[in-house]
Structure 1
Amino acid sequence: MKPEILAPAGNLEKLKAAINFGADAVYLGGSKLNLRAFADNFSNEDLKEGIEFAHLRGKKVYVTLNVFPHNDDLDGLEDYLKEVYEIGADAIIVSDPGIIMTAREVVPNLEIHLSTQANNVNYKSAIFWHKQGVKRIVLARELSLKEIKEIRSKLPDTCELEAFVHGSMCMSYSGRCLMSNYMTGRDANRGQCAQPCRYKYFLMEEKRDGEYFPVIEDDKGSYIMNSKDLCMIEHIPELMESGVMSFKIEGRMKSSYYVASVCKSYREALDAYVADGANYKFQQKWLDNLLKPSHRQFYTGFYFGDPSNQIYESSSYIRDYDIVGVVRKYDEKSNIATIEQKNKTYLCDTVEVLRPVGDNILITLDDMKNSKGESIPSAPSAQMIFTVNVKEKLCENDILIKAKEKK
């Protein structure tokens, strides 16, 4: 069975980008009980529109209810589950046994996936959850490929496995962290993580108040808990052999550009392997597309054993490219492209076009005009609509990106 590419959707725009650029399914947070309280998330109206958009294209939508709920979080749970089911969600992603029990009682036909927050790291636990009505296990990120293969070999065929293949990694065990709550009052296990693991720290001996010692020999301090980003694009064959049937991408807080780039690279790599595994070869362009949007240093997580995953020098992202616009329309007769601005861009800029299908191309933005038809030297205003003359054929939803100037 061909594995699914499962992409994050922080809002409706990102959902559409994910599906347009190759995702088979998306996961998203609704109005309650999800672990990204500061994402845009989906109102019931947006959720309905997103599900209709996905289903018309043969894609699926999974709704996260993956917090560890306190008593007051359970208020209205039954009604919310019914709403999610009636709107047409394909599954819910859950970490708490109480929510699982409630879902089985009030929406028994709604598919349940066990969140990675439940830190499932062995086959016995997977069998236990499967017997509770869980269709799919989202495996903990702390597993090696060898362990995943063993888990798969001991499960019934009716139990599916999903695993993260790309995106940010949490320094805490399966994301079960108390630091944010302790330091800022924002509970990571209820969707409000402030990411204190990304802060800069010094060492201080308890009886020498105010005397700070760098943990490494660097006057900038040390980011002792700052993790690298997971990237398995160079290891599609190993993932295929593991028995995982859903390749999950992290990033509901990330940009539409990030979502589109990652979906496209993994879509092309996976399709290439499925088409001819015996002659499959990794293509550098897949990794190049992943290096352009905002990211941290890449590594392969726990898949090949105990990782070296910390970045001590900085917690900032690497971002060499910016999205500058999205194509909304293209007239082949006049060669006029209508663009929605995402970042400031200038007349005669050379930009790269990220397309759902095919290699990226370079174009020049000629004859730039605003919505009134007036010539302009730049497109400076957020989300403004402007037109340019482009000889190369563009398509709706193509993304325009531009290399950042080196300082």
Structure 2
Amino acid sequence: MAKIAAIFQLLDKKVTVSSHRLELLSPARDAAIAREAILHGADAVYIGGPGFGARHNASNSLKDIAELVPFAHRYGAKIFVTLNTILHDDELEPAQRLITDLYQTGVDALIVQDMGILELDIPPIELHASTQCDIRTVEKAKFLSDVGFTQIVLARELNLEQIRAIHQATDATIEFFIHGALCVAYSGQCYISHAQTGRSANRGDCSQACRLPYTLKDDQGRVVSYEKHLLSMKDNDQTANLGALIDAGVRSFKIEGRYKDMSYVKNITAHYRQMLDAIIEERGDLARASSGRTEHFFVPSTEKTFHRGSTDYFVNARKGDIGAFDSPKFIGLPVGEVLKVAKDHLDVAVTEPLANGDGLNVMIKREVVGFRANTVEKTGENQYRVWPNEMPADLHKIRPHHPLNRNLDHNWQQALTKTSSERRVAVDIELGGWQEQLILTLTSEEGVSITHTLDGQFRRSQ
């Protein structure tokens, strides 16, 4: 058995993104989320190491990463570690030691921002250019490719023609964000957090100033907009543009979200796995960048996990409706309206069935009044009585006919807390020989073969 296990280990292999392979790149706050991302269809995962990552509270130990790598490689998936902060002089040597340690764990690439890393004495590990590098021009993309970056993530603000021009001018694999939060500024070029609080976004400690409310006044001091989230953007969603992005040269499709929870990563990874698989199935010139087949035990929906509204931003053309100005919170989907408000319950009319545990809310001007449904009781056709588990302090503000939203679908969410996906790699097993020698050949679905022989006296079973 030990020898057979060793053969399966030899079948584990890393797959480089070639011109026809599409890589789904998912985020992971920790190793547990990374494993689930891979099981739900990610071809690669990016994750923070022990230090120097651009997400201050999303670091992981070398031990956790070392244990994650062989799990990923079992499926031909890759592990990219973020080392994408601007470094101070006294951090260069510690960063160099960390890079060596990460290389020894077997990670596939580092995502970096600071060009000083190119001057360090580091092992031969792949370098990917971070979103913090603010890659908007052919010239910058070509420079990064020429100095050795094998994969570059382009600025979210680019359109299809700009992406295509960069792809045609460089040998580096083109990576592009297809889902998740959008910054109001160019990534890597925003200094509002540091200016206001001393916390630098380029050091992994953004204060999220763009999600705060602001009052806008004209040159006469008159209020134009009061306490609105004027810098808060909707979330990126490129579901409708995947085919066009492929044609423009994108080969790595990146999901934002190293602060996101397990359910979010499972759901969004599964959604884009299904979308990309459908394109691959339809077009004969494409393949996925890792091995195996993924089966999901739930129906993915980008609407049911955190988002601030959706936009495809500037991919096709510049648009005006890109802001989430009313609230930076997750409001969810409209499900009906309030009929009556009582001391300990609400009566509502709905377009979707409700369940105990649902998260519901009402948007009142700039304020979200939300609660969890402790108990729901159907009182008529499309009508429910809802008892919150804790009455919101602002319940008195809710009035009949206020629109009702659901930002937590309890029954759907429960499916994600269980085993929600399975990923398998097909292996053909051929056993031959007999008499004085057994010959065992294992061949993966991608044609990688291992043959092992065992000498001895053998007879066919009777």
Distance 1:181 1:106 in 2: 30
In structure 1, stretches of 5+ residues that fail to align are 279-285, 322-347, 352-392, 400-407
Mapping of 1:275-354 within 5 angstroms?
A: 275-277=281-283, 289-308=301-320, 309-319=322-332
* 1:242 to partner: Cα distance: 1.2
Distance 2:43 2:330 in 1: 28
Distance 1:160 1:304 in 2: 21
Alpha-carbon contact 2:238-2:312 (below 8 Å) kept = yes
Q: Taking every aligned residue pair, what percent have the same amino acid on both sides?
A: 35
The C-alpha deviation readout for 1:170-227, integer Å capped at 9, x for no partner, is 111124211111222211110001101100011368998xxxx6432xx5x2111001
Per the normalisation by structure 1, the TM-score is 0.71
Distance 2:301 2:247 in 1: 25
Number of matched residues? 312
Q: Of 109, 113, 131, which aligns to 2:128?
A: 113
Q: Of 419, 422, 438, which aligns to 1:397?
A: 419
The C-alpha deviation readout for 1:235-274, integer Å capped at 9, x for no partner, is 2211211111100000000111111111111100111011
SS in 2 for 1:3: strand
* Worse-matched range after superposition: 64-73 or 78-87: 64-73
Alpha-carbon contact 1:142-1:174 (below 8 Å) kept = no
Alpha-carbon contact 1:8-1:26 (below 8 Å) kept = yes
Distance 2:40 2:262 in 1: 10
Matched letter for residue 309 of structure 2 = Q
SS in 2 for 1:291: coil
SS in 2 for 1:247: strand
Q: Once superposed, what is the RMSD of the aligned Cα atoms?
A: 2.7
Distance 2:356 2:328 in 1: 31
Distance 2:29 2:316 in 1: 30
* 1:319 to partner: Cα distance: 4.1
Deviation >3 Å, runs of 4+: 203-208, 348-351, 393-396
| Equivalent in the alignment of 1:202 | 215
Q: Of 234, 245, 249, which aligns to 2:251?
A: 245
| Equivalent in the alignment of 1:138 | 153
- Report which of the two has the higher share of strand: 2
Alpha-carbon contact 1:94-1:100 (below 8 Å) kept = no
For the pair shown, the structure with the greater C-alpha radius of gyration is 2
The C-alpha deviation readout for 1:369-399, integer Å capped at 9, x for no partner, is xxxxxxxxxxxxxxxxxxxxxxxx9996228
Q: Of 43, 56, 68, which aligns to 1:50?
A: 68
Residues 394 and 136 (structure 1), Cα distance of their counterparts in 2 relative to 1, 3 Å cut: closer
Alpha-carbon contact 2:145-2:170 (below 8 Å) kept = no
SS in 2 for 1:246: strand
SS in 2 for 1:302: coil
| Equivalent in the alignment of 1:161 | 174
SS in 2 for 1:173: coil
| 2:74 aligned with 1:61 | no
Matched letter for residue 276 of structure 1 = E
Residues 316 and 2 (structure 1), Cα distance of their counterparts in 2 relative to 1, 3 Å cut: same
SS in 2 for 1:54: helix
* 1:154 to partner: Cα distance: 2.1
SS in 1 for 2:214: coil
Alpha-carbon contact 2:217-2:224 (below 8 Å) kept = no
| Equivalent in the alignment of 1:259 | 265
Alpha-carbon contact 2:266-2:416 (below 8 Å) kept = no
Matched letter for residue 106 of structure 1 = I
Distance 1:120 1:227 in 2: 20
Matched letter for residue 196 of structure 2 = M
| Equivalent in the alignment of 1:86 | 104
Per the normalisation by structure 2, the TM-score is 0.63
SS in 1 for 2:46: strand
Distance 2:270 2:204 in 1: 28
